[in-house]
Structure 1
Amino acid sequence: MIERDAAGRALAHLVLIVGVLIVAFPIWYTFVASTQSVETILRPPLPLVPGGEFAENYGNAIFGGMSRIGGVGVGTLLFNSTVMALGIALGKIVISLLSAFAIVFFRFPFRMACFWMIFITLMLPVEVRIMPTYKVMVDLGLIDTYAGLILPLVASATATLLFRQFFMTIPAELVEAARIDGAGPLRFLRDILLPLSKTNIAALFVILFIYGWTQYLWPLLVTNDNRMNTIVIALKKMVSFADADTPWDMVMVTAILAIAPPVLIVVLMQRWFVRGLVESEK
């Protein structure tokens, strides 16, 4: 039995290692390409070890400007993407938390009708309502602004549903005890619900940050100024139909820098993320 368990663990570790190598190899290959010159990249086969252009390529990308995207540096693109992703993630969490709190703990007319109206918006993603949303942004003068990037994507029926389901597990005795102690609604939310919801908030933050970071269609429509582009939009603009016209060294650098923030968020918050998804006892 012990030998069988040891063999099973060894096989499981082998499968995991192979899976990690399969997933990580394209990222490593992109990193290696980002440290090479354009001539080396266009002349196969590409080496599997980093080259000597690391400092020059990354320095030019971050602090310099690239002609194909209007002379904007990757530092500006990263800032735009970070503002958008943080705004969407934090906005979705705050709005969903408050809406779920109102639906669960307050009694008002058409309470469930309001919830189902929020839930039905799951069938209306931004791609379906993109033309009227774009018209509203134009009328409000929000084209090429951070508000225009964030506001149309800031509501989340999914997060509202998740918070509602969690709040419904809060014992009625806890709510009654808070009332007896004189805690008002906002104090109950701040002192009791928020601490109990921290793992859910962390898990949602990771998911929503990546959702905001990887947006392509809406930023493409709502930004005309190259200085307001996100890094995902800039990557598409940098690639030409002809290999010789594409600065592949800068493309690879930009791709690596585009991957880094979401990966960092997942690595730093992985424990909270997993707990928020699988924890059942609150």
Structure 2
Amino acid sequence: MIDNRPSRRIIAHTVLLIGVFIIAFPIYYTFVASTHSLQTILRPPLPLIPGGHFLENYTTALFGGIGRIGGVGVDRLLWNSTIVAVLIAVGKIFISILSAYAVVFFRFPLRMTFFWLIFITLMLPVEVRILPTYKVMVDFGLIDTYAGLTLPLMASATATLLFRQFFMTIPGELVEAARVDGAGPWRFFKDILLPLSKTNIAALFVIQFIYGWTQYLWPLLVTNRNDMGTIVIALRKMISFADADTEWHLVMVTCILAILPPILVVVLMQRWFVRGLVETEK
């Protein structure tokens, strides 16, 4: 039963507004800092209203090149991060959905053994696998390439498990009906399973896009050239131990630009994302 008493609603909305303020204020403060000059930032306290250097700072960061990362512009870093995040998300979904399809709808020797081998990889920390994986990337000459940045991160036991659990809810009668209608394995997958899985795919895409966007350790290892770095790596390189050596106005611009693509993906796919997480029956 929902409590509609005005006092309870006022308390609930007050708590909600406080939470929003706590989360949003640092982002607003970063945006304000990105519109001021370096001299203003280095002379605290920083004003709480935007300054007059918005276009100058953002144009310099995007197209002018930043000295501490080899003169590379943020536009290149955003492009690299977008390519990496999209390839990781699409690759994880593609591999996982095919793996789950094979495990659920095909009968072959050691079928469940292979599934549990995939599942066991969840228990292996990234640090355990990272050195052997790096050695493989070096041997194949994939350092400073998009393939090296994305291929080792595409396999996903979690996504395979989620697709398997969904496929197991598909009624056997639907499979038999498709077989009677002459649908082969590929047609059944393309015309029936994919449309039924679209909300799951959308939810996983959002999660995996953010996962790929926020990667730090692996891109740090497999990129030596500044123009192949991601925006997360560039942010760390831009910050020096001495405040005077750090272009804080450009750092703040980069921070704002770094959070925009994930926010845009979540906002645009919010409806599909929520449906993919809460729907239990298709």
State whether TM-score is above 0.5. yes
CA shift for structure 1 position 125: 3.7
- Report what 2:7 is aligned to: 7
2: CA distance, partners of 1:2 / 1:163:
35
For structure 1, the 5+ residue unaligned runs are: none
Question: How does 1:151-162 map onto structure 2 within 5 Å?
Answer: 151-162=151-162
- Report what 2:42 is aligned to: 42
CA shift for structure 1 position 194: 0.7
- Report what 2:210 is aligned to: 210
- Report what 1:221 is aligned to: 221
- Report what 2:257 is aligned to: 257
2: CA distance, partners of 1:211 / 1:83:
13
2: CA distance, partners of 1:228 / 1:217:
14
CA shift for structure 1 position 4: 4.7
CA shift for structure 1 position 25: 0.3
- Report what 1:121 is aligned to: 121
- Report what 2:193 is aligned to: 193
CA shift for structure 1 position 124: 1.9
The code of the aligned residue for 1:6 comes to: P
Question: How does 1:69-88 map onto structure 2 within 5 Å?
Answer: 69-88=69-88
- Residue deviations 1:114-135, cap 9 Å, x none? 0000000111243221111010
| Native 8 Å contact 1:235 1:251 kept in 2 | yes
CA shift for structure 1 position 15: 1.6
1: CA distance, partners of 2:92 / 2:56:
39
| TM-score normalised by structure 2 residue count | 0.98
CA shift for structure 1 position 2: 9.7
The code of the aligned residue for 1:272 comes to: W
2: CA distance, partners of 1:2 / 1:137:
57
2: CA distance, partners of 1:36 / 1:167:
53
CA shift for structure 1 position 207: 0.5
SS of structure 1 residue aligned to 2:252: helix
CA shift for structure 1 position 71: 0.5
- Residue deviations 1:144-176, cap 9 Å, x none? 000000001000000000000000000000000
CA shift for structure 1 position 281: 1.8
The answer to whether residue 180 in structure 2 is matched with residue 143 in structure 1 is: no
CA shift for structure 1 position 277: 0.8
- Report what 2:242 is aligned to: 242
Over 3 Å counting, the alpha-carbon distance change for 1:280 and 1:5 in structure 2 is farther
Over 3 Å counting, the alpha-carbon distance change for 1:5 and 1:184 in structure 2 is farther
- Residue deviations 1:200-240, cap 9 Å, x none? 11110000000000000000000000000000000000000
For structure 2, the 5+ residue unaligned runs are: none
- Report what 2:230 is aligned to: 230
1: CA distance, partners of 2:174 / 2:9:
44
- Report what 2:31 is aligned to: 31
The code of the aligned residue for 1:148 comes to: G
The code of the aligned residue for 2:32 comes to: V
SS of structure 2 residue aligned to 1:129: helix
Over the aligned positions, Cα root-mean-square deviation in angstroms equals 1.3
2: CA distance, partners of 1:4 / 1:82:
45
2: CA distance, partners of 1:3 / 1:71:
58
SS of structure 2 residue aligned to 1:9: helix
2: CA distance, partners of 1:2 / 1:206:
32
1: CA distance, partners of 2:199 / 2:3:
38
| Native 8 Å contact 1:126 1:153 kept in 2 | no
CA shift for structure 1 position 5: 3.1
Residue correspondences, number: 282
2: CA distance, partners of 1:125 / 1:160:
18
Aligned-pair identity (%): 77
CA shift for structure 1 position 13: 2.0
| TM-score normalised by structure 1 residue count | 0.98
Over 3 Å counting, the alpha-carbon distance change for 1:92 and 1:2 in structure 2 is closer
Over 3 Å counting, the alpha-carbon distance change for 1:116 and 1:2 in structure 2 is closer
Over 3 Å counting, the alpha-carbon distance change for 1:9 and 1:281 in structure 2 is farther
The answer to whether residue 54 in structure 2 is matched with residue 57 in structure 1 is: no
| Native 8 Å contact 1:119 1:158 kept in 2 | yes
Q: Which runs of 4+ in 1 moved over 6 A?
A: none
